[in-house]
Structure 1
Amino acid sequence: MDENVLFKDLFDGVPDEFPRINKEFQNGARARFAALRPNGLIANRFLSKNQTVVVVGDSVFAHGGLLQKHILYGLERVNEEVRDWIRGVKEKVANQLVRGRNSIVWLRSFSHDLAKDCDCSMLEHVLETIPGVKRMIMGHTIQSDGINAICGNRAIRVDVGMSKLCGDKFPEVLEINEHSELRVLTSNPLYFKGYEVLGVPVRTMDLVH
């Protein structure tokens, strides 16, 4: 090995310890922080290639959700600035995009367990500002009853908590066909005796208004 080659210290700038994390998990926490921070190995290789907001057909996808201020900011601008920040090209990024409860990745305005706590009128107004879009699909907030819809199928919540840390729930997939119809493919054995498509149990999307 060439002794003149300098290798970047992957843990440079990483805190020696994190409060509220047990001692036995500190090394893992430091490694996770180093890998996922802006310009980190995993962040640069994988996350920087993702879009923060994407419109596919008549659906808009965002991790936590969107407010009108995010739309006015510009979806292309959102994706560009977050991507540059993750790559380490941009030192800072607007808080409304990635930090705080009203940011795109932390928002829960349309993900509450109780439909009555979700602001359907606000959602309607947001969707009206994106041409051709009729529904918002989001994750971030675990849904105890699996993938579900509120606000007349205008808000689709798809985080079912599959990881062991966050619930260890059964995997589910939202299917949107060419006619923009929704179905949920599930591995939950409660639905095994129901209708199946190619051997995959299916449950229909609940219509919650």
Structure 2
Amino acid sequence: MYNPPAFREDRPEILHRLMAQARLAVLVSNGASGVPDVSHLPLMHSPAQGIILGHLARANPHWKALREAGRAIAIFQGAEGYISPSSYPSKAEHHRVVPTWNYEAVHAEGPVEIVEDAARLHDIVSTLTDLHEGTRKNRWRVTDAPADFIQGQLKGIVGMVLRVETLMGKRKLSQNRSAADREGALAGLTTEQAALADAMRAQQGGK
């Protein structure tokens, strides 16, 4: 990932927060044909263990390529959005401005283990389910379904454990603009870009 110093984010607590908020990630690994294999997956990062958990459909050939490649990158996307040059006060001064796109992203890279053991796979699915059910009023648990049904469903998937060796974070949030242009960019965001506005304010506050 191209990552100029002005946009680089190295603080573990920020990177972990972005990964937890994103949840749906993009898993990329080298493909046998020379073309990268890509899957969109709900993943869970465990900072304490330094791992990322997920699973793929057994019918998805990516899991076999992952086993062959041995390594992968999980990409977590944070807030993002278009920034119009019309929002910059400097436009009225010299017109030397262009559009850009602000965004947050984290890349986690490391060796991958494919899990086919039924007990471990059950644990992965249960952990992911508990995470995403969260504080829902009527939480669903894996144990709510008949055991034989769950065992049958597990045969259709394989687990994935990525041990994180490298974390690279990028928060491109107008840090390279003047204070006036940053405020202008914030003011020019639409209501649909509330998440980006929050991210830009947090970055300006050092968070």
Q: TM-score, normalised by structure 1?
A: 0.22
**Per residue, is there more strand in 1 or in 2?**
2
**Per residue, is there more helix in 1 or in 2?**
2
Using CA pairs under 8 Å that are at least 6 residues apart, name the structure with larger relative contact order, 1 or 2: 2
